[in-house]
Structure 1
């Protein structure tokens, strides 16, 4: 049933009920029901129809309005991601490619050993940044980060897309119920989890990763991404070229969430995001 049809029925059903009642009363029930009783029964019948039929129509109308609102939010978010992806591609991505070309020319010129080593390091940094930008563009254009699908399906899809063919097993313990977060919070949390999984694929040399999330307190949640990889010292995690860690921290701080990353060599890495409740 269309939105217009629902509004039409809600407007006309009370009028039709009163008209039908008056017709039946005057044609068939007038010898049996007094005028006073008939006038009393008319609003009672309208009230009963309101409780039964109209209440269901109002509930369906509200569902349609909520669906339209979710669609508008999803469309707006998709348009913003598309615009940001274009800006990244036309700006940073192309600049990095141009820088890589200039490094190629520089490497073929006469350089001493120190300068050549520095050039190699710069190239590696440019390569990592370029890969991060390309992945960010892919994430922005990917339909998997949406708000109208099951959270578990969205997280499972992200884990499969990022870790397929890598030999890393994914274990999901997702106990955060639908509706616990707003659409914006869900998109930001998914983005942080995707970045954490990408870091597992690129750096961790792990064979297993766990994604755990559950409610914490009345309005909080706890989420962690834990791998069994080689780990890294804190100084390396906070290095200036670890843009993924900085991005995750910035996203969490903008949402007012607590963010922590714990790692030790040969003991794996754990990314933690918390909202509300006590820190673990």
Structure 2
């Protein structure tokens, strides 16, 4: 079963369309064999050949198949056109109208006087039967469309979960670095400071010139070591990326590129205060990145608004999305992304809030002080 399905998918689209055109032409020829007028042959040719354009103009191709159904009892062309239309549009009233129109065209005979003077009960029965036949490709096309949507959402969810795992790993690493920085500051720096103080006292109290020189050397080395430790502590506290990160970490300069490649209709407004730290810029970038990832994951078809702002005391970013326009699939989430963002906000002495909006959307807001205490 899977091998046959794979081989079918490997067929190029033009080959499938050519096969459908040939089948529709054969179906029409069988029904027209015998007493047929040039008008009937023309309608059959136009309706069958139109299937070659069904992917680009599904509605127009369906309308082209209607005249041939008035003259002959064909099935391939209208069913293929209805299926293509149902697989490419979400307008269900349009699909219902097309199914009714196809059933009416199949039921009526040309000229119309032959239908109107016949048995009305049989005409109604035939209409119901042809309507059920027309509904079948419509339902199948909608099913194929839903399957494509679910497959696309599963890919997006897998990408989002992978991003969550990477972000959570980076957050754990940042927490470990912060702990290491505290240990170095509180323990190692304290001990080295004591060494420097004791060496200074020995330098002043020593009588022997060699002893004073040795004490001076120890004090100088201790002071240099303290400077190096302070530099290392600053780097550890500011770092939030991987331990072996060789590529530059994203900043506000990369925000426009992130939005452009997000695959979501997004507007960017506002600005941040000049001169904010690289760590703050990276936190704003990660907040926007995670928020847009969640929009793709939980609100397909929604639009997003990214607003940068600042006032006299705080700065931040607010990401708000509208309600989803397509059906969402309920999938599990560990919420590691939001947890990591809250921890990043705490490193800036700020806060991160997230929650639904009254309009059915969702909003994520990062707020941090302009000058941390």
TM-score exceeds 0.5 = no
TM superposition score normalised by structure 2: 0.31
Choose 1 or 2 for highest CA Rg. Answer: 2
Question: Which structure has more RCO (C-alpha within 8 Å, separation ≥ 6)?
Answer: 1
